[in-house]
Structure 1
Amino acid sequence: MPITITDVAMRAGVSKTTVSRVLNGKGELDAATAARVRQVIAELGYVPKAGAVGLARGRTRVIGMLVPSLTWPWIGEVLQGTVDVVESAGYGLMLFTCNQGDQSMRQFAGQVSAKSFDGLLVIEPEGTLDYINSLHEQGLPVILIDDREHRPRFPSVATTNRIGGASAAEHLLTLGRTKPAVITGEVLWGCTRERLAGFRARLAEAGHPLDPRLVQGGDFTFEGGLRATTRLLQSGIAFDSIFAHNDLSAAGVLQALTEAKLRVPQDVAVVGFDDVPLAAYTNPPLSTVRQPMRAMGEAAARLLMTHLDSGEQLPDEAFIVPTELVVRGSSHPQARSAEN
């Protein structure tokens, strides 16, 4: 049976008139009530008939946000940064995931058609970039929170993956580690290529070209980091450090080195990427390149709401939030000197 306005009203605990006022953006409504009604609309997948929808004539003061899943290690940081800005500005946030694949996207598309939100923030679910770009071309204000170097045809907030990779190389060089190994992320993602390129270029500048035999493919998982490190150890090629392209795979690196009875950082220094909360609690605590995910969420929300409130043009170029090296025990500069 199709979902009706009565179903929405019953689930939200309000009258059909209240639901209608939310849909049409008319009348004074308690913000919490309006947010609850919109959330129920999203949960039920209710799509009002075009003639009944008056949102095109007004504003919802709701921001939509589309993400692949809530299980990614750094998603919580992005969401917190976004919510901090959105709520302080008196907006609501309508969150969509792609946990159920095409069904999730159909539900999301229904809310787009119903004009349930004024603008959209996106952490791109795999394979949806062309669809999101089409929404932008149709007039929906969209900002991509981009950690993958996709460089879309609409506004985005990004970070400095190449510089981050170079800073990891610089740090290892200052420790006297001139034979590093690298465990990459997904090779199809631009951030993987950028992190590797920055790391390789800085080593080459210092006269220590990266040995291609010491570059192992990974998949951004703990198990992938463990397997890649095991392959490195079995290869018999000497290395004195490992740069992993994210913290989860770096945690797998630490596990593999521990199992091989190698000391970190005395025998092998380890550097990750992201600075997720896990990084501070590994053994030893993980040095990493901080990807400023909370700041990226804040920046994207602020850009979108400034555009909605003042009409200020969204930037054509990506808004860049820089990375930052965080040094902890896995590459502590005093570890090797203390033995000498």
Structure 2
Amino acid sequence: MGVTIADVAARAGVSKTTVSRVLNGEGEINENTVVKVRKAISELGYVPSAGAVGLARGTTQMIGMLVPDTAWAWAGIVQAVVETLETEGFGLRMLTWNHGEESLRRLGLQVAAKSFDGLLVVEPEGALGSITELHEAGLPVVLIDDRFQRPGFPCVATTNREGGEQAARRLLDLGRRRPLVVTGPEEYGCTRERLDGFVGIYAQAGIDLDPRSLIGGDFLFETARSAVAQALADGVEFDAVFGHNDPSAARVLAALHEAGLRIPQDVAVVGFDDVELASYTYPALTTIRQPMRDMGEAAARLLLDHVRRSPEAAPSRTILTSLVIRGSTLRPSPN
């Protein structure tokens, strides 16, 4: 038999009514009592019914944020979220998705203990169903950077297809007609959108890309290096590379240098995201700017609107991408 509210009450030394009031944020309760009840919930692993977690929110002045890890890739989003929440009098509780089901269990305990009023989520790989259930139970949730199918709750996304189109137009403007594409993971929605946009612009120019030039990747450094090496070994002719994120494109630059190719004279390179790394590669990386800070701020404000049940709360937001031109796609100087 599972843990019951009576078990929590016994562990905390309070009545079942008091536990219920803590869960639902009802009335004035001594802070020490609240702490004891939440500690008992955490120790026992008690998860209340959907109704118990969804009612009477908006009392903690805290927002939870679930990210895949604490890597630098999310720094811009997190910083914007923190700054926006602080101006609105809210704090932030960070949660990571490092341990799969164990992380999900801990998230459930945080929700059960009413540790925050709403949840921001970045890339909930393997957890979208569980996050959706929390939303349907009444927890305000906003997804940032949708790399999957559109969820059944609000999200802040960016124009991935248009970003792919912008990358293609820049390369075509340079006369590059044989691009190599190092994609992100196939299951990500952003991968499909970036690839479709890129391939579509080349098709409009009457250029069908060689299937061998479309190489599946995983957004990681070494995969991009292997992709370039394999293309060279297979004799695939290319005069440009579109990496689906900046780390991939940065590793492409290194691999091209190792192969004795000049950038951008021999091969032009475009990345995606415009993270800080893009400014420090050699040459500096042309990229599609995915405005991380704008996305973080928009997500935080959207979530607060839903937490406050504002009648003007938007269902979702889309933030536009833009092309940032740097040395990796500069036009060669005339001799």
Give the structure-1-normalised TM-score: 0.82
Name the structure 1 match of 2:324.
326
Deviation (angstroms), 1:309: 2.9
1:88 lines up with 2:91 in the alignment? no
- Contact 2:23 2:53 (8 Å CA) reproduced: no
Q: Secondary structure at the match of 2:308?
A: helix
1:267 and 1:190 map into 2 onto residues whose CA distance is 31
- Contact 1:78 1:293 (8 Å CA) reproduced: yes
Q: Secondary structure at the match of 1:325?
A: strand
Cα separation, partners in 2 of 1:68 and 1:272, compared to 1, 3 Å: same
Deviation (angstroms), 1:27: 6.7
Cα separation, partners in 2 of 1:247 and 1:54, compared to 1, 3 Å: closer
Name the structure 2 match of 1:62.
62
- Contact 2:53 2:112 (8 Å CA) reproduced: no
One-letter identity of the residue aligned with 1:74? A
Cα separation, partners in 2 of 1:55 and 1:214, compared to 1, 3 Å: closer
Q: Secondary structure at the match of 1:74?
A: helix
Name the structure 1 match of 2:127.
128
Cα displacement string for residues 86-117 of structure 1 (whole angstroms, at most 9, x for unaligned residues): 11100111111122222222111001111111
- Contact 1:23 1:116 (8 Å CA) reproduced: no
Deviation (angstroms), 1:45: 6.5
Unaligned segments of structure 2, at least 5 residues: 1-7, 13-20
Name the structure 2 match of 1:104.
103
Name the structure 2 match of 1:16.
none
1:153 and 1:129 map into 2 onto residues whose CA distance is 10
Deviation (angstroms), 1:237: 2.4
Name the structure 2 match of 1:227.
226
Q: More displaced, 158-167 or 290-299?
A: 290-299
Note the 1:166-245 alignment, pairs <5 A. 166-245=165-244
2:126 and 2:46 map into 1 onto residues whose CA distance is 28
Cα separation, partners in 2 of 1:46 and 1:93, compared to 1, 3 Å: farther
Q: Once superposed, what is the RMSD of the aligned Cα atoms?
A: 3.2
1:54 and 1:277 map into 2 onto residues whose CA distance is 39
2:128 and 2:212 map into 1 onto residues whose CA distance is 34
2:44 and 2:69 map into 1 onto residues whose CA distance is 22
Deviation (angstroms), 1:119: 1.0
- Contact 2:63 2:119 (8 Å CA) reproduced: yes
2:175 and 2:255 map into 1 onto residues whose CA distance is 23
1:136 and 1:88 map into 2 onto residues whose CA distance is 25
Cα displacement string for residues 131-181 of structure 1 (whole angstroms, at most 9, x for unaligned residues): 111111111111111241521111111001100000000001111111111
1:158 lines up with 2:152 in the alignment? no
Name the structure 2 match of 1:12.
none
Name the structure 1 match of 2:298.
299
Deviation (angstroms), 1:74: 2.1
1:91 and 1:29 map into 2 onto residues whose CA distance is 21
One-letter identity of the residue aligned with 2:157? A
- Contact 1:149 1:158 (8 Å CA) reproduced: no
- Contact 1:25 1:54 (8 Å CA) reproduced: no
Name the structure 2 match of 1:11.
none
Q: More displaced, 21-30 or 120-129?
A: 21-30
- Contact 2:123 2:147 (8 Å CA) reproduced: no
Cα separation, partners in 2 of 1:45 and 1:303, compared to 1, 3 Å: farther
Q: Secondary structure at the match of 1:115?
A: coil
Q: More displaced, 251-260 or 206-215?
A: 206-215
Cα separation, partners in 2 of 1:114 and 1:172, compared to 1, 3 Å: same
1:262 and 1:86 map into 2 onto residues whose CA distance is 47
Cα separation, partners in 2 of 1:29 and 1:227, compared to 1, 3 Å: farther
2:44 and 2:93 map into 1 onto residues whose CA distance is 14
1:74 lines up with 2:78 in the alignment? no
- Contact 1:155 1:314 (8 Å CA) reproduced: no
